Amino acid sequence: MNILVTGGAGYIGSHLVDRLLSVGHQVTVVDDLSVGKMANLQRHLSDKRFRFIEGSILYPTMMDELMKDCQLVYHLAAVVGVKYYVEDPLKVIATNVRGTEVVLELAALHNCRVVLASTSEIYGKSSQIPFSEDGLRVLGPTWVHRWSYATSKALDEHLAFAYARRGLQVTVIRYFNSYGPRLDPRGYGSVVAKFIIQALQNQPFTVHGDGQQTRCFTYIEDSVEGTLLAGGEEKAIGEVFNIGNSQETSIQELAELVKELTGSESSTLHLPYQEVYGPGFEDPPRRVPDTSKANILLGFQAKVPLREGLEKTIAWFRSRQ
Ligand code: UDP
């Protein structure tokens, strides 16, 4: 197949590209390299089935060229990372909403199937644990910039389903805290990356709040597997799926595990949220996926336990030192 991956130089995108090429597809990546890196794709540059285009999804003429003869697009290009939402909500909204509109409109025009990467952030502060795809979404007020991302992605999903009513073959996937090699080494937007860097430098773990908030960390191989299933299964069309590991871990526990696995001497430094993100910041206290729908319809099951995934991720960070 001729496949387009938007955001393919990014952390999840580049792993997806590795897999798509390994099973024989023709892959084009479009990425503006704002966060993505050529280093993530270096190994494919000499592959004739691979093409890299540096550019923004916000340019319809370029996107039209790229989507004309593609059968499937994995749309991963987006502004992602809590610090970005707080610092530049305008960029979050513009890129995520306008960019997705461009992709969906052209996909509908050219009869191209779409997998839209969305997020577990969509569920916000909901207390309906575990989060199921048809469950509530509970977001805070619009002046709390953190929610700009969830809102932009929710609008993307609405757009996707609106186009689906007009015949577009689209699947939405909601990632739950993916981690693994190639995470932004600055630790921008991922607690896993931040803690590993802090551990390797024997710096204190910066635990926000009391550290009792939880996440379900999902190893990259599992995130990619769910993504591929969403783009490959007929039953996925018109549906939305949680793609995550169900193992719930508190941030404090994560710090302890990273400390153990790295043999670090890092202590823990508790930082009030407002000190990090400014006044009025809100954080989901728990985030746990119900993955039964993905399991039943796609055969998806996260396989890599946190300890094993962290070991591999730590090895990658070490190799970069
Ligand atoms: N967090 C933390 N210390 C850090 C970075 C993040 O305690 O240095 C916390 C953050 O406040 C949140 C959780 O870790 O409760 C996950 O944060 P992340 O930015 O990885 O993504 P989120 O799940 O919030 O989208």
Catalytic residue among 149, 175, 219, 277: 149
| 268, part of any domain | no
Nearest one of 231, 156, 199, 224 to 315, comparing CA atoms: 199
| 172, part of any domain | yes
**Residue 59 designated active-site:** no
**Overall average pLDDT of the 152-173 stretch:** 98
| 282, part of any domain | no
Model confidence band, residue 84 (pLDDT cutoffs 50, 70, 90): confident
User: What is the pLDDT at residue 242?
Assistant: 98
User: What is the pLDDT at residue 290?
Assistant: 98
Ligand 1 centroid – CA 55 distance (Å): 30
Ligand 1 centroid – CA 209 distance (Å): 10
pLDDT tens digit string along 222-279? 999 999 999 999 999 999 999 999 999 999 999 999 999 999 999 999 999 999 988 8
d(CA 115, CA 264): 40
Cα distances (Å, whole numbers) of residue 155 to 97, 147, 236: 7, 12, 20
| 125, part of any domain | yes
Does residue 206 line the site of ligand 1, with CB under 6 A? yes
Model confidence band, residue 188 (pLDDT cutoffs 50, 70, 90): low
| 276, part of any domain | no
| 208, part of any domain | no
**Helix, strand or coil for residue 208?**
strand
| 267, part of any domain | no
| 153, part of any domain | yes
Alpha helices in 166-305 (DSSP H): 191-200, 220-232, 251-262, 273-277, 292-298
Model confidence band, residue 43 (pLDDT cutoffs 50, 70, 90): very high
**Overall average pLDDT of the 15-21 stretch:** 98
Confidence (pTM):
0.97
How long, in residues, is the chain?
321
- The token duo for 144 is 């709390």
CATH value at residue 127: 3.40.50.720
In the block, tokens 């540059």 appear at 45
d(CA 1, CA 147): 36
Domain count, the chain: 1
**Helix, strand or coil for residue 192?**
helix
d(CA 229, CA 224): 9
Model confidence band, residue 82 (pLDDT cutoffs 50, 70, 90): confident
Ligand 1 centroid – CA 135 distance (Å): 23
User: What is the pLDDT at residue 187?
Assistant: 62
pLDDT tens digit string along 110-159? 999 999 999 999 999 999 999 999 999 999 999 999 999 999 999 999 99
User: By percentage, how much of the chain surpasses pLDDT 70?
Assistant: 99
**Overall average pLDDT of the 305-313 stretch:** 98
Does residue 171 line the site of ligand 1, with CB under 6 A? no
Model confidence band, residue 192 (pLDDT cutoffs 50, 70, 90): very high
User: What is the pLDDT at residue 80?
Assistant: 86
Atom number of ligand 1 nearest to Cα 287:
23
**Range(s) of the domain holding residue 227:** 2-178+217-246+288-303
User: What is the pLDDT at residue 85?
Assistant: 87
Greatest pairwise CA separation for the chain in angstroms: 57
Mean of all residue pLDDT scores within the chain? 96
Cα distances (Å, whole numbers) of residue 75 to 42, 69, 114, 169, 211: 21, 16, 7, 13, 33
